[in-house]
Structure 1
Amino acid sequence: MPLSLSRVVGDDADVLADQDFRLLLLASLISPMGASVVSPVVETLAGPYGVPPAEVALLLSAFTAPGIVCIPLSGVLADRYGRKPVLAAGLALFGLAGVALTLTTDFRVALGLRLLQGVGYTGIGPILITATGDLFSGARESAAQGVRFTAVGASLTVFPLLSGVLVAVAWWFPFALYAAALPVAAAVWLLFDESADLGGGDDDASTDDDTSGVRALLSLATRPAVAATLVGRATPGFLWFAFLTYNSIVVVRLLGGTPGAAGALVAVASVTSAVATTQTGRITARFGRTAPTFASLVVGAVGLAGLALAPSVPAALLAGVPVGAGFSVALTLYRSAITGLASDDLRGGLVSLGESVGRVGSTGAPVAMGAVVTLLTDSLGYAGAVRGVSLAVAVGVVVVGGALLVVGDHGADDGREAGATASDD
């Protein structure tokens, strides 16, 4: 085991010796490509598709929208039929739909293909987290999730840069990167050894348990503190996708930069995101959860405002640092908070619900911002509308996120007690 990895991960760095985990790492390189390949080229794609950049940004919303409904469904399917078939099918659909984007300039067809890609993703990201938990436990599981996040960070660094460079050759070249998912899907299907005993059992008993579990989950999720935390989970996603939607528009159209520079901006934010997340344990141990979550939302909002007001490409690149740090820490802390609000038998359902709500924020950012930018362009001009709407989002994330944190923190103990009580009903 390389010495450097042992220093970062610790004594459990030997998780890489597990072949199944190495396959999950390969899939983890694919999982963030859905947004990272498209984000740097939004401005450039306006020409081939014949629509304004604000409409091209719907390619991001079309990708995230299926997760609102399908993430919980993919978890049910993975529990019943196994992780391998869901993961392999998700990778295959993600790759095929992505490669098919190279074949059309019809924007409506492209949106449909992105919806299919989004469906495929729901069989990738959530399943990778679950499958890693199947393979390891305790400290080894934490180490494995950390190594997996490093793979995600590497992907988020490399693919935006590649996308920004390739689009200068031909508009469709970035979409060819999605072909990487296909050999990974084949490797998972052929080599992943899933021995867990999933599904089965008495159907009637299972149905009764499912019904009871749904009632308990709904009872828990409607508690004010829990509901506020679930809704708050959407705020870092809204911030991040506001950044992903408009970074290339600001860099290329407003500042006269290149798609490659826009890709570099996403890479800067992604590297910062990966580094910042490694410190969340230390932060919460010293300051708790609520204050650091609010502080991270403020940091991310400052970064988004800095991008909106950037006078040059280097200044825009610098703004990627607080955006990435604020987003990743806030997201991690929200996920940790949601995990702690439920008992063991409700945790999976509540986490899936939280991820679905998070997708609402990711999906809503490009749609809402595009609509307001279009509305304000006549009065403010396009540049003024983009900058003004981005600033409004930055302020809104802080105000709304802060209010939800107050509600969630005020009733956090009641929420945890409700989770335990609901699981006993």
Structure 2
Amino acid sequence: MGVLQTLFGDDARVLYERNFQLLLLASLSSPLGASVVSPILEGLTGPLGVSSTRVGLLMAVFTAPAVVLIPVVGVLSDRVGRKPVLTAGLLLFGLAGLAVPLTTDFRVVLGLRFLQGVGYTGIAPVLITSVGDIFADDDEAEAAAQGLRFTAVGVSLTVFPVLSGALVVLAWQYPFLLYGLAVPTALVVFLLFEEPTAEAGNDGDDSVRALLALAAHPRVAATLVGRAVPSFLWFVFLTYNSVVVVRLLDANPGVAGLLVAVASVASSVSSTQSGRITAAFDTRVVPMLVATTAVGGGVAALAFAPSVLVAGVGVVFTGAGFGVGLTLYRSALTGSAPTDLRGGLVSLGESAGRLGSTVAPVLTGAVIAVAEPSLGGTGAIRWGVFGVVVAGVVVGALSVAVVHRYDLPTPSPAATTAD
């Protein structure tokens, strides 16, 4: 375990768990819904016969199902098990993506992308929940495993957009072949993955009522709110990074892309250290607060950066804080629920994250629009981003304070491990 021991400390042992290895494999597919399509959107306008404005719907219809369906799928995974939901999600996600090159009818492509979005709801939330199932009795190992899974996602986000951009040069259909990865992964999961849940959850209304009661607990509710904050701040960065770099720093879009890559690498690397960070503190409160502040501070530094170099330093803090913060919040949610409610609670957390991601660009744009008449274009961007970031950090800090004040719900078997 030499190299792995050096990189991850004692928690390198999680990599030798076969179930976790399969979850890492499936994690390579989970971010493909956006990362394959985003770099090639403009190139699809011709083949699909649509404008640049309408082609953006390919992203919207993919993300839309998650807001409503993630909690539903989470409850379903608690009732029927993680394995069937994950297998079905991977199959639907992969097959719908592979079907896109078979048509040039934009409406049909939108329908296939919607089906991919439905499939996605059975992948990422179930992966996060399953990690919590496997390492439920070891808080430090669970945090490390969540971080390593996030790193696998980061690798996918780094590699597949580049492949997609290269393949579209050959033909517009070729990037969609990358979704084929999900199909054999589904087969491997079906054959080799061992169901981590010991028994089926509560039936019907009892399960829903128990989940709602758990989510209403002050500590759990605060964790759900806090879970939205890293995603909120990250999407402020993703949305306005190019605006700052191109319009305010007079650089080219390639530089903006490089900064996103730097932030992604920083988030992937930092997330691998989540286990060590958890072990270094008696409570998760301090690292949660520091991570949230790092994300916000990094985005604020980007907004006011006098040069690309300073902006680069800022995005390193943004990425590092995002990787640690997101991992710790996810880990906190998995440790806040008994097995039969874990899938539902984690899914609520992922919906909260999606909500934060959706609100971020809309709210920031509105603040900038209101500020522009008095501050001018440049001032409105800088101070608008700064104001939204400060608001996000304050919400995150208040959430952490509530988490620190209340104990876990007494029915949770993890009550002594997740703090």
TM band (smaller chain): 0.7 to 0.9
Task: Determine if the alignment matches structure 1 residue 231 to structure 2 residue 225.
Answer: yes
Task: Determine if the alignment matches structure 1 residue 262 to structure 2 residue 256.
Answer: yes
TM-score for both structures, normalised by structure 2 = 0.76
CA 1:129–1:331 in structure 2 vs 1: closer, same or farther (change >3 Å)?
Answer: closer
Q: Residue 189 of structure 1 aligns with which residue? A: 187
> Which deviations, in whole Å up to 9, do the C-alpha atoms of 1:160-205 show, x marking residues without a partner?
5556x659969x96x954532223323423663355498998xxx9
Q: Residue 215 of structure 2 aligns with which residue? A: 221
Trace 1:94-113 onto structure 2 (pairs within 5 A).
94-95=93-94
Task: Determine if the alignment matches structure 1 residue 308 to structure 2 residue 309.
Answer: no
| Aligned-residue offset at 1:158 | 2.8
Q: In structure 2, how many angstroms separate the alpha carbons of the residues matched to 1:335 and 1:257? A: 36
Task: Determine if the alignment matches structure 1 residue 391 to structure 2 residue 392.
Answer: no
TM-score for both structures, normalised by structure 1 = 0.75
Task: Determine if the alignment matches structure 1 residue 120 to structure 2 residue 119.
Answer: yes
| Aligned-residue offset at 1:351 | 2.6
CA RMSD of aligned residues (A): 4.4
Q: In structure 1, how many angstroms separate the alpha carbons of the residues matched to 2:28 and 2:365? A: 29
Pick which of 191-200 and 304-313 moved more: 191-200
Q: In structure 2, how many angstroms separate the alpha carbons of the residues matched to 1:257 and 1:268? A: 16
CA 1:176–1:10 in structure 2 vs 1: closer, same or farther (change >3 Å)?
Answer: farther
Q: Residue 400 of structure 1 aligns with which residue? A: 395
Contact 1:61-1:366 at 8 Å conserved across structures:
no
Trace 1:238-277 onto structure 2 (pairs within 5 A).
238-277=232-271
| Aligned-residue offset at 1:303 | 0.8
| Aligned-residue offset at 1:364 | 1.7
Q: In structure 1, how many angstroms separate the alpha carbons of the residues matched to 2:312 and 2:327? A: 23
Q: In structure 2, how many angstroms separate the alpha carbons of the residues matched to 1:299 and 1:239? A: 10
Q: Residue 151 of structure 1 aligns with which residue? A: 152
CA 1:121–1:313 in structure 2 vs 1: closer, same or farther (change >3 Å)?
Answer: farther
Contact 1:308-1:391 at 8 Å conserved across structures:
yes
| Aligned-residue offset at 1:242 | 1.5
Matched letter for residue 126 of structure 1: P
CA 1:279–1:85 in structure 2 vs 1: closer, same or farther (change >3 Å)?
Answer: closer
| Aligned-residue offset at 1:324 | 0.9
CA 1:94–1:257 in structure 2 vs 1: closer, same or farther (change >3 Å)?
Answer: farther
Q: Residue 277 of structure 2 aligns with which residue? A: 283
Contact 1:239-1:301 at 8 Å conserved across structures:
yes
Q: In structure 1, how many angstroms separate the alpha carbons of the residues matched to 2:210 and 2:273? A: 34
Contact 2:147-2:275 at 8 Å conserved across structures:
no
Q: In structure 2, how many angstroms separate the alpha carbons of the residues matched to 1:400 and 1:15? A: 33
Q: Residue 177 of structure 2 aligns with which residue? A: 179
Q: Provide structure 1 residue ranges, at least 5 long, that are not aligned to the other structure.
A: 421-425
Counterpart of 1:416 in 2: which secondary structure?
Answer: coil
> Which deviations, in whole Å up to 9, do the C-alpha atoms of 1:227-261 show, x marking residues without a partner?
22221221111111222222233334544444443
| Aligned-residue offset at 1:119 | 2.4
Contact 1:70-1:119 at 8 Å conserved across structures:
yes
Q: Residue 320 of structure 2 aligns with which residue? A: 325
Counterpart of 1:5 in 2: which secondary structure?
Answer: helix
Q: In structure 1, how many angstroms separate the alpha carbons of the residues matched to 2:51 and 2:169? A: 17
CA 1:222–1:262 in structure 2 vs 1: closer, same or farther (change >3 Å)?
Answer: same
Task: Determine if the alignment matches structure 1 residue 297 to structure 2 residue 330.
Answer: no
Q: In structure 1, how many angstroms separate the alpha carbons of the residues matched to 2:274 and 2:355? A: 24
